[in-house]
Amino acid sequence: MDKNYDYLIVGSGLFGATFAHQMTKAGKKCLVIDKRGHQGGNIYCREIEKINVHWYGPHIFHTNDKEIWDFVNSFVEFNRFTYTPVANYKGELYSLPFNMNTFYQLWKTKTPAEAKSIIDEQVAKNFIKQPKNLEEQALNFVGKDIYVKLIKGYTEKQWGRKAIELPAFIIKRLPLRFTYDNNYFSDKYQGIPIGGYNKLVEGLLEGVEVQLGTDFFKNKDELIKLATKIVYTGKLDEYFSYSLGHLQYRSLEFNHQVLDTENYQGSAAVNYTDFETPYTRIVEHKHFEFGKQPKTVITKEYPLEWTTEKEPYYPINDFENETLANQYKKLKELEPNVIFGGRLAEYKYYDMHQVIASSLHAAKAELNVR
């Protein structure tokens, strides 16, 4: 039976869209399907009050890879946005990431030596040679003040578990910056697409056939007959019908509000680091593109326990889930005509530039390009 397409691409997020673009450019015929009613996956933006609202949470593009930066800018020009979030702990405001501004706000220290002295003293008081959980690990890195005010409550809300119940290896490091620098990312290239991320996805999918509102699993038998190969970007365990059990994720709920004010909080993001505030942050979207619209749109972000009815956003990369994911990854070897890619299909936390790099690598491998 002749196939209509070279590739059936399940998911129109960054991995799928990038792969479709590369293969279409090489003369291959692709069909992209997505169960949502829009393309772009989690980087989709919805325009409200002439503001590009990051519908599934804020996405700030950052990379040190000039090739990746030039690639995305070939579709849409990126602005010079620099991410400088603020932490709100019970009404007290602190700069993020942890830097000399933060230390001054905490202790009124003015030199790196003063700040280091306080941190070293606090670490020494709580130091545990072999930390058994996230709390002990964090105290080893930054001491009590930073941990209690800026890490503990936020982390427990994000994970839905007490810090003493989370494994230590989740925190591999907590960078302390002994300069007055509020730039959250240290990457050379940073920004937001001018006009929103939809322009990037539209550029990637130009000339590609896309079918929205199409659920791969509800139509699997018919869909797999259409193409020689499948590119799958959905949940890894779902592809294998959860045959080994369910992988775990964290989900999110986004509460979007239009406010009749020009500027609500003066920052793209304010993180609420106390446990009592139910949301982890408030995002004010107009600041991503330096908007001057008369109204503003904010989003409160609530972490949720994931169920099969909710969207999976973050893989829970603890020992139990990593072990199960590795078992599923062995099953991939039995699927030579399926390419698994992206955060869900690889059960791996990826930043946007890493997703694109992974997709470009997969496309080169398919085309035997070095």
**Active site residues per annotation:** 173, 177, 250, 281, 301, 349, 351
273 beta partners: none
Cα 281 from Cα 94, distance rounded (Å): 14
Helix (H) or strand (E) holding 125: helix 112-126
Half-sphere exposure of 139 (CA within 13 A, CB side): 18
Strand pairing category for 30-34 and 209-212: parallel
Q: Which of 75, 16, 40, 78 is nearest to 360 (CA)?
A: 16
Task: Give the span between the Cα atoms of 115 and 107, in whole angstroms.
Answer: 8
Measured in degrees and rounded to the nearest 5, phi and psi for residue 304 equal -135, 150
Task: State the Cα–Cα distance between residues 160 and 173, nearest whole angstrom.
Answer: 21
Torsion of CA 207, 211, 217, 223, to 10 degrees: -60
Q: How does DSSP classify residue 347?
A: T
Cβ(13)–Cβ(235) below 8 Å: no
Determine contact, residues 271/83, Cβ cutoff 8 Å. no
**DSSP code, position 277:** S
Q: How many CB atoms lie within 10 A of CB 92?
A: 12
SS3 state at 187: coil
Q: How far apart are CA 211 and CA 203, in angstroms?
A: 16
At 153, list the tokens.
């409550």
Residue type, 28: K
